[in-house]
Amino acid sequence: EAQVTQNPRYLITVTGKKLTVTCSQNMNHEYMSWYRQDPGLGLRQIYYSMNVEVTDKGDVPEGYKVSRKEKRNFPLILESPSPNQTSLYFCASSFSQGAAYEQYFGPGTRLTVT
């Protein structure tokens, strides 16, 4: 089944404790992206990747890191999480370079930073 998977689905952590949210897609997609969703704010793009070893900042990259060492994986790293990073996070992918194609979204990761 073609899908985007994220792990963990739920995470509660404390301020300053490094964490990684994994994202994997099995569709051989080139474009991958991370979003955060906050009440009343819709989805905002954090980082995106056009292909392996190519990543770029989105609208809200501060406090986040990403890497794209393999085509299928695009982990989101919070080196020192803070309470304002409490949010619902979505990973997405699309088959072609660039954002101008249908994106497939993962199920989301709900992160709480205390």
Partner 1 sequence: GESVGLHLPTLSVQEGDNSIINCAYSNSASDYFIWYKQESGKGPQFIIDIRSNMDKRQGQRVTVLLNKTVKHLSLQIAATQPGDSAVYFCVWNAGNMLTFGGGTRLMVKP
The whole-angstrom separation of Cα 4 and Cα 35 is: 14
Selected from 19, 71, 105, 112, the binder of partner 1 by CB under 8 A is 105
Question: Does 107 sit near partner 1 (CB under 8 A)?
Answer: yes
Question: Does 99 sit near partner 1 (CB under 8 A)?
Answer: yes
27-46 footprint of partner 1 as x/- string (CB under 8 A): ----x-x-x----xxxxxx-
Selected from 66, 92, 111, 113, the binder of partner 1 by CB under 8 A is 92
Task: Note the residues at the interface with partner 1 (CB under 8 A).
Answer: 4, 31, 33, 35, 40-45, 48, 50, 56, 58-59, 90, 92, 97-100, 102-108
